[in-house]
Amino acid sequence: MSAHDFLVTLTIVLGTAGITTVLFQRLKLPVVLGYLLAGLLVGPNVALPLYADRGIVSILSEIGLILLLYALGLEFSLRRLIALLPRVGPAALFQSGMLIWLGYVLGRALGWPRLESLFAGGVIAISSTTIIVRAFDEQLVRGKLRELVVGILVVEDLIGILLIAVLTAVASGEADGAGALLASGARLAALLGALVVIGLLLVPRATRRLRRMDRPETMLVASIGFCFGLALLLNQFGYSVALGAFLAGSLMAESGEQHYLEELIRPVRDLFAALFFVSVGMLIDPRAILEHAVPIAAFTALVIAGKIGSVAVGSFLSGNGVRTSVQAGLALAQIGEFGFIIAGLGLTLGATGERLSAIAVAVSALTTLLTPFLIRHADRIASVVDRKLPHSLQTFAALYGSWIERLRQPAARRSARSLLWKRASWLAFDALLFAAVVIGGVVFGPELARRLESAFEFDATAARWLVIAGTALAAVPFGLGLLRISRRLSLDLAAQALPVPARGVDLAAAPRRSFALALNLLLVGAVLLPLLALLQPFLPSWPTLAAAASVMLVFGWLLQRGASNLQGHVKAGAELLAEALSAQSKTQFVPIQVATGQASADESVPELATARALLPGLGEPTALRVEPGSRADGRSLGELRLRGRTGATVLAVLRGERVVLMPGANERLESGDVVAASGTVEALDAARELLRAPTGAQTEG
């Protein structure tokens, strides 16, 4: 590569990208799509006189990837990321496990070999951090949604690294996929642990010292140098440069200077990020899309539907509301750089053909095209999903967040952490032994069947079925143990949030049962789906799919039944709250303030405090007043989209002497109405603001 070639390529790429970016901005379309179009135009697959050297663009795009992940790391200090893990870990496991499994099943349905189908599952499992972060920056997505999505992406990237190690072991003929996973996980954990300990001792202190020098160019050069150095170090150990760049940003964020650094590197980051998306566009081959149109369409539909559904379910069960969970699923409905890496790995190892690489690029391009539109309309789609849920599930969703909130309170959190550490080891033990028995039965089963034939003169078919039956019988105790331990753990965690009384009537029994069932689904899904993904090459596809689907359907039916039973408890709570508010309104209504996170006016409304004590599990039932001239005056609950926007559920509406229990979407509010609502403290604060907002005011959502 000569300097002239480099200059020509850079001129062609940046010139074309500049034109397409201006065009897409004028059309009010995401500029990421303009970069992809620029890549298609300057790439080798379109007969235009513009041609950029793919090797040079690839090198520049790697720089863009590193800088994007470094900037992302600056947003997420290590302490913040660790605090997020309980909220994002289950959703990441749900999503990656589900997509690996379904990708494998789809590959087999298309007639592909087992190994190529497994790689296909890996290709579609990991969403694109680069694409999502860019789309969020363009559309100014901030706050809870961005925090949730980026946290999931970081965990997914770690899963992707382990997935590469396992697929390499399986494709190389090493049968012990579980052993490869454990060994790779242990190596990664040890390396990251050492880097974090050393980094926390040195990096924040050095960053603050550089900042005191007040020389922006020195800080810029030193910080980017550290970023590339750590990325190179991780790459030398066989891991992704993206992980090293993210870790560099997280360590520097511990200094407290992350906002200064973000502003400093933004122009450099944006330039090279554009080159990254141009490089993706250069991979798009219209002829390959036409040749493999059917599998491309099938995998694209699977990525969109599978990621939206699995992320939404996993995120909701982790304690995020319906609206935020659906928005997160819509944001994550694409694949990117890890898909290319895994497809290239399969081709290098001889496990796949060139068609998987072509399909990966096409699916990535199509889902990338859709991502900005899905993010832009996520709020509207999430509101529709929330409205279409059965009323019992809507109530359950609002209360579930409050139960998770109680579980996260300091005293309950300490006990919950102790329970998790104690029982998680047994869960992992049963899962690994289950996997070992199944893999051992598949790997050594044929030899054992031959020995049975020769030793006992069995028929070949009978010997094979005997081995299968023996393997199943040996694995069943560990599978049942996994279900038993997850059930016991979910019951214990639910009791931490909603304690069982020492004596008397257990008034929290109904909400505790519903909470325990949801936690059980979360635990089983977070363990079962990755386990099935690991065992797919060793299990028959369709029977496994049917068995897993049956388990999830049973859990879903039980959850629906539990939500229906919960309605009786909620209705009784609504009646009690209405009585309390009616009694209070005969004297003087004092609005309850929850801005501090506590119902501080309980002393002013003793009846409401009594209602809370008598009916635990209803979150923090709170009285809210519809203010004169507010946008809520004269509008129905459905028009306000109160629950969809805030996550709070309305238990009763008090209007003078009239009380409406469990009002429907058509119930209209009037000035002076007292609304009894329940949910998390955050949801109730948002509901208060919505009811107070003057006509014409903009509210979130």
Per-residue pLDDT, 165: 65
For the chain, residues classed under CATH 3.30.70.1450 are 575-692
Name the helix (H) or strand (E) containing 659: strand 658-661
Query: Is residue 365 within 8 Å of residue 352, measured between CB atoms?
Result: no
Between CA 323 and CA 375 the distance in angstroms is 13
Q: What is the architecture, at CATH level 2, of domain 3-388?
A: Up-down Bundle (1.20)
For the chain, residues classed under CATH 1.20.1530.20 are 3-388
Run means of pLDDT, 10 residues per run, the chain, 701 residues: 79 88 80 81 78 79 80 74 77 86 88 87 85 78 81 82 71 54 68 85 89 88 91 81 82 85 84 79 79 90 91 84 85 81 76 82 84 83 78 78 79 70 77 81 79 77 82 86 86 83 74 85 80 72 74 79 76 72 56 38 49 66 78 79 76 77 78 79 80 61 45
Query: Is residue 360 within 8 Å of residue 335, measured between CB atoms?
Result: yes
Query: Is residue 517 within 8 Å of residue 490, measured between CB atoms?
Result: yes
Between CA 629 and CA 188 the distance in angstroms is 59
Q: Which two tokens stand for residue 344?
A: 């290239």
Between CA 536 and CA 552 the distance in angstroms is 17
Running DSSP on this structure, what letter comes out for residue 630?
B
Q: Which two tokens stand for residue 543?
A: 């029977």
Per-residue pLDDT, 604: 42
Give 575-692's CATH code, choosing from 3.40.50.1000, 3.30.70.1450, 3.30.800.10, 3.60.110.10: 3.30.70.1450
This prediction's pTM: 0.75
Between CA 292 and CA 355 the distance in angstroms is 8
Burial of 70 (0-12, 13-18, 19+ CB in 10 A): buried
Parallel, antiparallel, or unpaired for β 674-678 and 658-661? Answer: unpaired
Between CA 366 and CA 324 the distance in angstroms is 24
CA terminus-to-terminus distance, the chain: 51
DSSP string for 425-481: HHHHHHHHHHHHHHHHHHHHHHHHHHHHHHHH---HHHHHHHHHHHHHHHHHHHHHH
